[in-house]
Amino acid sequence: MSQQESAPIPPFINKVMSTVLRSPLHGMVSKSIMLITFTGRKSGKTYTTPISYTRDGNLVTAFTHAKWSHNLVGGAPVALTIKNKPLQGEADVVSDDKDAIATALNTHLSQVKMDAKYYQVNFDDKGAPNWEDVVRAADNCEMIRVKLVEN
């Protein structure tokens, strides 16, 4: 496993997290973890997975190392569950613009510090993500941007 890869999250953890996010107990984790539901481009199957996020108005941003994000390339309709509220949006994946990914990942990790371990990012003595670590991490992940739409 390379320095920037983290071990995949076991499927049973995702199932437990999905159950919690749909339950009255969602408040324990829904401030920073949402459910994203999308359709597989080849299979046509519907998939739902928990993923950490940050939100700024009608723009939701998430990051992943997982291959499922390829289903969102070029824009794709998605359903999100944020704080147990169903939302609709159009997702796209940013994988080429490493500067944009690093900038957004830095913002994300400033708000969702628990994710730093997945990207092997340390924090400085003021509590900010180490920029060199963030830039290195941005080389090995993709950014998912979801523009929320009115229901």
Contact of 146 with 80, CB cutoff 8 Å: yes
Exposure string of 1-26, with b = 16+ CB inside 10 Å and e = fewer, is eeebeeeeeeeeebeebbebbeeeeb
Report the pLDDT value the prediction gives residue 26, as an integer from 0 to 100. Answer: 75
What domains, with CATH codes, occur in the chain? Answer: 11-149 (2.30.110.10)
3-class secondary-structure state, position 65: coil
Tens of pLDDT along 114-140? 999 999 999 999 999 999 999 999 999
What is the rounded CA–CA span in Å between residue 37 and residue 132? 33
pLDDT in tens, 16-35: 777 767 777 676 676 899 99
67: pLDDT strictly greater than 60: yes
Share the mean pLDDT of the chain. Answer: 88
Structure tokens at 129: 């993500």
d(CA 81, CA 37): 8
Look at the chain and count its residues: 151
Give dist(CA 119, CA 110) in Å, integer. 13
